[in-house]
Structure 1
Amino acid sequence: MSLKLATEALRRVTGSIAVRLTLWYALLSVFLIAAAGSALYWVLAEQLRQVDSKILSSKINAIHSILSRYTGNIEALRHETQLEASTIRGVFIWVSRPPDGIIARGRDFNPLLDNPRPFTKSPKTLKKTEWKWKIHDHDHYLVMAQRLAGNPPTTIYVAVSTTQNVQFLALYRQALLLATTLVLLAAVAAGYLIARRAMRPVARLAEIVDELGAGQLHRRVGDEPWPSELRTLAANFDRLLGRLETSFNRISRFSADIAHELRTPLHILRGEAEIALSRGRSPADYQACIESAMDEYGRLSRMVDALLFLARAEQPDAQLDTPLLDSREEVAAVCAFYQAMADELDVVLVNDASGAVAANPGLLRRALGNLLGNALRHTPAGGEVNIRTAIQPARLQISVSDSGSGIAPEDLPHVFDRFYCADAARLRQGQGTGLGLAIVRSIMQLHGGEVALQSELGMGTTVTLSFPIIPPGTSAPHQK
């Protein structure tokens, strides 16, 4: 349990960006200080060793010269060796030759020879050889030896005490460890203060975001002088606020439109019922009231169905099958359904569609039906509604054109809005719900396509549906 609590506490601590930056800054500082100190330590130790090596090498060369001058005079060799050993304090020299053993040595006490653990190493070649030798934990020596050719061979040994060097390097290591510890503490403190100061804009941004509500969606945060690392985040957040504001306003307008559109038929139904109940009526009057109510019920049912379709179409997991269809056959089926209405209005339907389209058959017919219904209602007698296709790069376009009254320029940006109707009188007369083009747009979005509208007042309107083209030999995927 304690391990779990410790792990959770560590996770909370390391979850802070300021703490993480501090730890990384401290670790980097310690690493750099330790690396620099280690390099300096190695250089210092190597320099001390080289100085001692030069002393030992010079002494070997001097004894070698003495041996050359006094080859057969052992007494002179001993005397000169003692003189050479006394020139530098802490230097010990001895010369060994089998089978006589040590034939010359310094006059002073030699700790490498005169102790229970004498020096026993010897060079294997004629080159100078170097060793580190420790008698006790606090007595350190550097030994250099060279064997000289002869019969028998002579070996020169020279040693120097390095205890002071070892003690100096130990103090240096302690100082380095202390300096690294102090640097670590200073780096943690300074790094945390720097990180906290650097993270102030993030805290400020968090405060602004926390203050935002439904009534502050118009506010923008990108105008403040943010650091360069936060400018992109602030800009993206502004775009998110813009999308949220647009969606919120659209939902608000949609809710108000729904309330308004449902209130009208309900008021009509209630008014007709109150009139019918105000006094006795004939069966014909009651029948007319019921027929009028049925018309309003039909309008309410169509509106509810359209709203349910739009709600389902906007779900993120909405999917549909889009097989390859013959566009001419699909258009012909829709034209056949609206032919009676066209004959009654004396409008000609022309089917010039051709080619394959990847679409859901039910939704394609619903979109074309909405467009044909609008076109027929706005085309005068003797006019024409033409459905044709065109192939564009990676797109198959189905266009529905009429020779009707057209749409005013100020109405064009709003024709795809829900419940929008340029001719409000038609909407009140039950000839539409104001959701037809909104449904068409949702259907095209489900297919991954686009819808465009071109209209000129008094010249007619053209609505173009652009469907993605499926390459030959591949099946249409599920649209999402």
Structure 2
Amino acid sequence: MCLNSVTKWSLQLSRSIALRLTLWYALLSTLLIAVAGSALYWILAEQLRQADSQILVSKIHAVQTALHNAGDNYTNLLHETQLEASTIRGIYIWVTRPRQGIIVRSQTFNPLLDGHKAFDHKPQGSQTQQWHWKVKKHEHFQVMAQRIAGNPASTIYVAMRTSEREHFLAFYRHALALSVALALGMAILGGYLIARRGLRPVHQLATIVDELSASELHRRIAGAHWPSELATLAGNFDRLLERLENAFARISRFSADIAHELRTPIHILRGEGELTLSRTRNIDEYQACIASAMEEYARLSQMVDALLFLARAEQDQQVLEKKRLNAHQEVASICAFYQAMADEQEVNLDNEVDASIVANSELLRRALSNLLVNALAHTPAGGSIRIHSARTRERLQLIVSDNGTGISSEALDRVFDRFYSEDAARMRRGQGTGLGLAIVRSIMQLHGGEAELESAPGSGTTAILSFPIIHPHQDKYPIR
């Protein structure tokens, strides 16, 4: 149980942005402090070593001069050596020759020569050389030696006790390590507080989003108070809320429209059934009731099919199988299907389309059929319906125009809405569902195009289907 709690807590911490920022901030701060402290330590230690080296060099030069002046008079050389050693505390000087060994030494006791660990290095060549020598655990020396040519040759050794310097550098290292550790702790604490404060707007945004519900989609969260890093997110979220609000409103209207439209045929069916069952009737009356019910069933079936099509058309994943079609042939097949109806109504159908188009044949025919049905319904005897094509720079247009009754300006803004009909009585008589033009608009949206209507009362109506142009040498659709 405890292990599971620790594991869960570790997972939560690993997902925390504040913790990640804190660790990166602490790591960077500690690294910078450690690098800066190490650089200062190296500069300090190097400066101290160079200062000590300058002292040793000066002592070697002084002893070298005394050795040159003394010749074989070791008394004067010993005096000069002791004098040079006495000017600075902790200086030891001795001079050696190959066969004679040590000829002079500045002190009677020399810890480098008389201790348990005797100094045994010798310079190679005529250049000055130096070493760091440790006699005991805490007793350090810096030794410099130089060979002096002559007959016989001599070697001058000068040693300086550097225990205080090493102790000081050790204290500096410990202080630096302690400072880095304290800086790490302060960076973690301060970084976490800074990160939590910096991420406070994120928590505020999360709280606002969590409080939103379907009834509060009208709320907007973008504003000048958000940091620039969250302003874009807040703006995008507002646009998402706007799309959701529109979708909910559209679904609500759609549901209300469906309930309203389904209620009429259901009431008709129920009323006719109750009326028929109210008393015994003859066979002709029963058949009339069944025939009327069949008309309502057909209208319901037509409405359900149209609604299913619209629902599928609104799915973003809808993918069309499109081909390059001969638009004249497609229109000709639709005109042939409705020619009998047009002849009965004494309406002339003119197919003047001359273009190829990339589209789904079934959906194109359905859109044209809906437009022709509407045109035939509103064109009086002796009228005509003309179907032709036009091109713009980016669009290919199929245009269906009639010289019928036309549409009022008030209705023109709503004709593409579902279940809308300017002649409500006509819908009540079962002549249409009010979904034809809504289906046309959905079909055009699936093709990446647009559907428009231009009309005026008494001047006829023009329906324009605009398809995006795909040139034959640029597409993969062969003409059918």
Q: Tell me the TM-score range normalised by the shorter chain.
A: over 0.9
SS in 2 for 1:430: coil
Output aligned runs, 1:38-57, within 5 Å: 38-57=38-57
> Within 1, Cα distance between the matches of 2:245 and 2:166?
75
Report sequence identity in percent.
62
> Within 2, Cα distance between the matches of 1:201 and 1:28?
25
What is the aligned partner in structure 2 of residue 475 from structure 1?
Answer: 476
Post-superposition CA distance 1:290-323 (Å, at most 9, x none) = 2222211111010011111122222333223112
One-letter amino acid matched to 1:423: D
What is the aligned partner in structure 1 of residue 407 from structure 2?
Answer: 407
Structure 2 alignment gaps of length 5 or more:
none
Measured after TM superposition, the shift of residue 29 of structure 1 is 2.1
- Change in CA separation of 1:389 and 1:96 when aligned onto 2, cut-off 3 Å: farther
> Within 2, Cα distance between the matches of 1:150 and 1:347?
135
One-letter amino acid matched to 1:92: Y
> Within 2, Cα distance between the matches of 1:342 and 1:264?
30
Worse overlay, 160-169 or 9-18: 9-18
Post-superposition CA distance 1:3-52 (Å, at most 9, x none) = 88755432211212222222222222222222221122112111111111
> Within 2, Cα distance between the matches of 1:291 and 1:176?
101
SS in 2 for 1:346: coil
The normalised TM-score by structure 2 is 0.93
- Change in CA separation of 1:42 and 1:270 when aligned onto 2, cut-off 3 Å: same
Measured after TM superposition, the shift of residue 109 of structure 1 is 2.2
What is the aligned partner in structure 1 of residue 339 from structure 2?
Answer: 339
SS in 2 for 1:332: helix
What is the aligned partner in structure 1 of residue 385 from structure 2?
Answer: 385
Output aligned runs, 1:12-411, within 5 Å: 12-223=12-223, 225-411=225-411
- Change in CA separation of 1:99 and 1:5 when aligned onto 2, cut-off 3 Å: farther
> Within 2, Cα distance between the matches of 1:108 and 1:338?
133
Contact 1:56 1:160 survives alignment (8 Å): yes
> Within 2, Cα distance between the matches of 1:413 and 1:74?
124
Contact 2:389 2:398 survives alignment (8 Å): yes
- Change in CA separation of 1:448 and 1:201 when aligned onto 2, cut-off 3 Å: same
Measured after TM superposition, the shift of residue 224 of structure 1 is 6.9
- Change in CA separation of 1:384 and 1:102 when aligned onto 2, cut-off 3 Å: farther
One-letter amino acid matched to 2:381: A
SS in 2 for 1:422: coil
SS in 2 for 1:112: helix
> Within 2, Cα distance between the matches of 1:399 and 1:142?
103
> Within 2, Cα distance between the matches of 1:393 and 1:124?
92
Worse overlay, 270-279 or 386-395: 386-395
One-letter amino acid matched to 2:262: L
Post-superposition CA distance 1:203-239 (Å, at most 9, x none) = 2222221111111111111247222222221111111
One-letter amino acid matched to 1:441: R
Measured after TM superposition, the shift of residue 248 of structure 1 is 0.4
One-letter amino acid matched to 2:380: P
> Within 2, Cα distance between the matches of 1:152 and 1:418?
121
SS in 2 for 1:131: strand
> Within 2, Cα distance between the matches of 1:338 and 1:312?
27
- Change in CA separation of 1:122 and 1:402 when aligned onto 2, cut-off 3 Å: farther
> Within 1, Cα distance between the matches of 2:151 and 2:370?
121
Worse overlay, 463-472 or 257-266: 463-472
- Change in CA separation of 1:382 and 1:141 when aligned onto 2, cut-off 3 Å: farther
Contact 1:470 1:476 survives alignment (8 Å): no
Structure 1 alignment gaps of length 5 or more:
none
Contact 2:223 2:231 survives alignment (8 Å): no
One-letter amino acid matched to 2:447: H
One-letter amino acid matched to 2:183: V
Post-superposition CA distance 1:420-449 (Å, at most 9, x none) = 223222222222111112212222232233
**Two-structure CA RMSD over aligned residues (Å):** 2.3
